[in-house]
Amino acid sequence: MRTRFPVGDSVHGRRLLLVGTYTPDSEPPGGGQGVHRVWFDPMTGEMTDGGVAAHTPGPSFLAYRADPPTVYAVNEREKGTVTAWRIDADAGLTELGQAPTGGASPCHVLATDTALTVTNYANGVVAAFALAGDGAIAQEAARFAHTGSGPVTDRQEGSHAHSAVAVDPLHVLVADLGTDELRVVRDGEQTGTIVLPPGTGPRHAAVAGEYVYVAGELDSRVHVLRWDGDTGTAEYLGSEHATGERAAGTNFPGEILTHRERVYVSNRGADAVSTLAVRDGGARLEHLANTPAGGAWPRNFTVVRGHRDEPDHLVVAAQNGDSLAALLIDPKSGVPADTGHRLAIPAPVCVLPVPITRIRRAARP
């Protein structure tokens, strides 16, 4: 039985965030219960617990497909799976089914209009699934294995696919932490690799126009590349320290996002969110500031964009702090500051904003 909650439909209505957590039956285990529902006040940054939206093992990364409104989550465990839910106008989730991911420890899912791309950390296998018209997982279209290693022997003994990002309508780039590469996938085929400096440990990437920004988990740097969609290759342009100083081995960048000429990176170790300014049209980054993340081991975070006179915020999942924190983005500098608002959530590892107001409007007769 699903629990239903009232949803505001005004400009200043609360926003819906879905939060993925580690659960007792995931690997690694945690105290979460699955996908948690959170209501966010975009004027103040205050957050309200909306209960558990779906009980599912280890939904450590979530993705959203707009048409029809569908939510996907990896289930991070030894025999990995990916699960799909239909989301309705009352923020209820109805499961549409799940599928095996072809590997262990799936840690990321990318949703496009027609397909899902799932990365399995343990064995480096990338699984591409076709989607049915109703959003359900229709069939597995392809699996891509990979080989290689890197100089950080305890982390790079083999391929470890960590995330995927759509760099243009035809290409997906897969960050392989174990081989220091971005694997290029085009139309369901793995077509090549982009080599990064040894010991980078690419974890996540963000795209802004022709530029790709890669968070190096192992070298604590943000790497800049210029993408060429015609050739399916990229030019390496350089890097910047994630926290503004050398911190390889003590700081481990997690998520990376772009927003209004700024790049934001979460830092596990420094327990901060770094702000980097985009310079030279996107070809170079400059470190501006480190903002305390509001909790220990900040992993994933999201930008909650304001409407009209609402401010922009970052909402950060502090995995080891068992909480969410709201940071207010300064409209001039782009640097976030702590609002002081927290919400206790056990082992949060992913924050997904869902446009529930748009879903409600589309559902009206």
Please enumerate in sequence order all residues whose Cβ is within 8 A of that of 289, keeping only pairs 6 or more positions apart, or say none: 274, 275, 333, 335
Q: 150, 156 in Cβ contact below 8 A?
A: yes
Element of type H or E holding 359: helix 356-363
Rounded distance between C-alpha atoms, residue 17 and residue 32, angstroms: 16
For residue 9, pLDDT over 80 is answered with no
Residue among 265, 182, 252, 267 at smallest CA distance from 218: 252
What tokens were used for 355? 């446009």
pLDDT tens for 252-285 read 999 999 999 999 999 999 999 999 999 999 999 9
pLDDT bracket for residue 187 (50, 70, 90)? confident
Residue among 258, 255, 254 at smallest CA distance from 269: 254
Rounded distance between C-alpha atoms, residue 30 and residue 33, angstroms: 9
> Strand 62-65's sheet: what is its strand order?
62-65, 70-75, 81-87, 93-100
Place of tokens 């501006």: 288
pLDDT tens for 303-317 read 999 988 899 999 999
**Backbone region of residue 239 per phi and psi (left: phi > 0; alpha: psi in -120 to 50; beta: other values):** beta
pLDDT tens for 141-161 read 789 999 999 999 999 999 999
Q: Hey, which residues does 67 pair with through a beta bridge?
A: none
pLDDT at residue number 3: 36
pLDDT tens for 83-127 read 999 999 999 999 999 999 999 999 999 999 989 999 999 999 999
Tell me if residue 281 falls in helix, strand or coil. Answer: helix
| Secondary-structure percent of the chain, ordered helix, strand, coil, rounded to 5 | 5, 55, 45
pLDDT tens for 80-89 read 999 999 999 9
Percent of the chain at pLDDT > 70 equals: 96
In words, the CATH class of domain 15-363 is mainly beta
Beta strands, E only, 61-216: 62-65, 70-75, 81-87, 93-100, 106-111, 115-120, 126-131, 137-144, 161-166, 171-176, 181-186, 189-195, 202-208, 211-216
pLDDT at residue number 259: 98
Rounded distance between C-alpha atoms, residue 289 and residue 55, angstroms: 38
pLDDT at residue number 357: 82
Element of type H or E holding 274: strand 272-279
pLDDT at residue number 12: 46
DSSP β-ladder status, 323-329 and 298-304: unpaired
Residue among 4, 21, 71 at smallest CA distance from 323: 21
| C-alpha pair distances (Å), 133 with each of 69, 137, 140, 296 | 11, 9, 15, 41
For residue 359, pLDDT over 60 is answered with yes
Predicted structure pTM score: 0.95
Q: Hey, which residues does 130 pair with through a beta bridge?
A: 115, 139
pLDDT at residue number 360: 83
Please enumerate in sequence order all residues whose Cβ is within 8 A of that of 145, keeping only pairs 6 or more positions apart, or say none: 123, 124, 125, 159
Q: Hey, which residues does 329 pair with through a beta bridge?
A: 336
pLDDT at residue number 6: 38
Q: 326, 282 in Cβ contact below 8 A?
A: no
Rounded distance between C-alpha atoms, residue 158 and residue 316, angstroms: 30
Rounded distance between C-alpha atoms, residue 193 and residue 203, angstroms: 15
